[in-house]
Structure 1
């Protein structure tokens, strides 16, 4: 299949991420190799027993930025939920083990005041820590989503210049 044949048979949709097989203008097919309809070259490996192996060499030349944006946003939101749950569990464990009371006692003894003048949970209370985690996680969602989208655009520009990343897939039977 030539590059012109491949260009005629593919759908250049703006909502698709393209994985384009390595296409050459002159296709030389040795007797032991076969070429699929998609243009990927499949070659059997030397037979070892009853297992046969096929290989396909493909080139990733375009990543759809919108799909990267959606995936980065979904992963970032999932990480936001994980962070809030982790901070909540951490705070509850610190409360249950008496760490906050020990910090209050240490600060009170250093300041030589009565024990009711300082309470660490006034500064690091449960809802204050969860709120701070939510704010920082929301900033992280925005930054991660934006950076992933910019990264997809940069990859597409680099792939236009350099040809993309070539990947070889192997299939065992």
Structure 2
């Protein structure tokens, strides 16, 4: 009979994250912010298309016409919120988010480095499972 191999001891290493490189945080935050911006624009276009295909815009127009008291009020939601306008607004929001999230991430990295010099950093325990 063959004996099973004895279980190896689990190795543990306790480490401290004492410094975060602001340049690497800036690059990673920029890339993730750009990806989030692309998702924002695509989601806005898809949402507008779904609302248009399901006829929500026409139902809102008829509801507002009923509430206003006249069926021929001339109000059309598609003219106010056309696909081009929604895509443009989503793109503006995405660009602002890229700038803000990148700047805030960089600032957070710098503030973490300052606070880590005072208190020692964040402790992390790594195991070998």
Common fold, TM-score beyond 0.5?
Answer: yes
Mapped pair 1:149 → 2:91 = no
Deviation per CA, 1:53-85, whole angstroms, max 9, x where unpaired? 101111111101011011111111101111111
Q: Which runs of 4+ in 1 moved over 4 A?
A: none
Deviation per CA, 1:95-137, whole angstroms, max 9, x where unpaired? 1110000011111122233437110011111111111111111
**Unpaired segments of 5 or more residues in structure 1?**
1-48
Q: Is the Cα–Cα contact under 8 Å of residues 105 and 115 in structure 1 kept in the other structure?
A: no
Structure 2 match to 1:127: 84
- Give, in whole Å, the separation in 2 of the partners of 1:114 and 1:163: 69
User: How many residue pairs are counted as aligned between the two chains?
Assistant: 124
TM-score by length of 2: 0.90
**Unpaired segments of 5 or more residues in structure 2?**
1-5
Structure 1 match to 2:3: none
Q: Is the Cα–Cα contact under 8 Å of residues 25 and 109 in structure 2 kept in the other structure?
A: yes
Please identify the structure whose Cα radius of gyration is greater: 1
RMSD over aligned Cα, in angstroms?
Answer: 1.3
Match of 1:76 among 18, 26, 33: 33
SS at match of 2:11: strand
TM-score by length of 1: 0.68
